[in-house]
Amino acid sequence: MIDTEPIQIHKTDKSRLPEIDFDDLKFGRVFSDHMFSMEYRDGKWQQPEIVPYDSLTLSPAASVIHYSQTIFEGMKAYKNEDGRVAMFRPEQNIKRMNRSAERMCMPHIPEDIFMEGLSELLKLDSGWIPPGESASLYIRPLLFATDEYIGIRPSDNYRFLIMTTPVNAYYSNPVKVKIERKYTRAVEGGTGYAKTGGNYARSLYPAKLAHDQGFDQLLWTDAKTHEYIEESGTMNVMFVVDGKLLTPSLGETVLDGITRRSVLELARDMGVEIEERRIRVSEIIEAMKENRVEEAFGCGTAAVIAQIAAIGDGDDLYELPPVEGRKISKKFEKYFRDLKKLRIEDKFNWMVELTEQ
């Protein structure tokens, strides 16, 4: 193993940073100067490196392009008013990436190298972390199969990358979601709990149909009966009904979101009553008809808290109460904003601050 070898750093000789306008960022379109890169070959991880962000050379036979043996993560780093930089619970993303790796027959990524790669990359590209109130640096770790072989079996060779992209708020307005009663994202025994490419590929078509009907996102239901709510595309989902916080329980078909987990810990700490269980679509629809759904929102790294303005089911559209009056989720939003900008005490120890060099 190479955990004693330091990361080799090859700096770019021409930063693209001067060309970037932090006030006009399109999500996931611009990438910072460097990326972390490490290959898996001969049964072990090779020299970790940080190199200028650039295109890759890949065999047309590379198994990832044919059979989707690929996993990713999504996390964020923040810069506060004093220029201090911190990541939100990165160790959780590292652990989850390794759970995804196991499901997809991919090699375990050593946690210490992963963490060191993140820190070194952020130090080198700290100028790329936008300081704005709702801005951050989105971090995208990626692991994929590179065998030059058109046969179906787990690859022998892999590439692990970490790239970063400066972003602003993901959604500027509350979202409209459609309850999906026909198509399926994940099924028992499948890969729903892993962050793997195929899960997203299969959701493009139903999501496109929903977009054409004016919705921003889908609200997935269980594959067998389409009667239970699971999650929303790239976010977990929560409701406040009669003052209680409701969220579908986890299982193989729901991604174990770090934002979801954090919201639940925070809610518990605030004394909010929580119900984490199977939730019937009909239960939520009944409650919406009786005006008992006080709040509905998605939670995930990209949007953090994405307020849901309306929920569609078949031909019916249910409007939810105005966002301004949503006491509970507004408290979560404020807590996360203040925490990520290091303005309040970090009582759960969620922030990992970058130490000065």
Ligand X SMILES: *Cc1c(COP(=O)(O)O)cnc(C)c1O
Nearest in space to 158 (alpha carbons), one of 46, 295, 282: 46
Residue from 258, 293, 305, 310 in contact with ligand X (CB under 6 A): 258
- Give the footprint of ligand X on residues 72-101 (CB under 6 A): 74
CA 182/CA 220 separation, integer angstroms: 9
Contact region with ligand X (CB under 6 A), list: 155-163, 232-240, 243-251, 265-273: 232-240
Candidate list 165, 217, 236, 253; residue touching ligand X; CB under 6 A: 236
Q: Decide if residue 166 touches ligand X (CB under 6 A).
A: no
H/E stretch holding 73 reads none
x/- letters, 186..215, toward ligand X (CB under 6 A): ---------x--------------------
Instruction: Round to whole Å and give the CA distance between 290 and 303.
Output: 29
Residue closer to ligand X, measured from CB, 158 or 193: 193
Residue 257, SS3 per DSSP: coil
Please say which residue, 48 or 233, places its beta carbon nearer to ligand X: 233
231 binding ligand X? (CB under 6 A): yes
H-type alpha helices, the chain: 63-67, 90-103, 111-124, 197-201, 204-212, 258-270, 281-289, 327-340
Stretch binding ligand X (CB under 6 A), from 78-86, 127-135, 157-165, 234-242: 234-242
Name the nearest CA neighbour of 260 among 251, 252, 270, 249.
249
Out of 68, 191, 253, 259, point to the residue binding ligand X (CB under 6 A).
Answer: 259
Stretches 49-57, 126-134, 171-179, 229-237: which one binds ligand X (CB under 6 A)? 229-237
With CB under 6 A as the contact rule, the residue among 35, 235, 238, 241 that binds ligand X is: 235
Question: Can residue 216 be called a binding residue for ligand X (CB under 6 A)?
Answer: no
| Residue with smaller CB distance to ligand X, 218 or 288 | 218
Residues 249, 238 contacting (CB under 8 angstroms)? no
d(CA 141, CA 133): 24
Binding to ligand X (CB under 6 A): which residues in 294-323?
300-301
Say whether residue 167 binds ligand X (CB under 6 A): no
Size of the site for ligand X (CB under 6 A): 13
Residue 117 contacts ligand X per CB under 6 A: no
Residues contacting residue 186 through CB under 8 Å, at least 6 positions apart: 192, 193, 199, 220, 223, 230, 252, 253, 254
Structure tokens, 124: 């080198």
Shortest distance (Å) from residue 134 CB to ligand X: 16
- Write out the DSSP string of 175-191: EEEEEESS--S--TTSS
**Chain residues in the site for ligand X (CB under 6 A):** 74, 195, 231, 234-236, 255, 257-260, 300-301
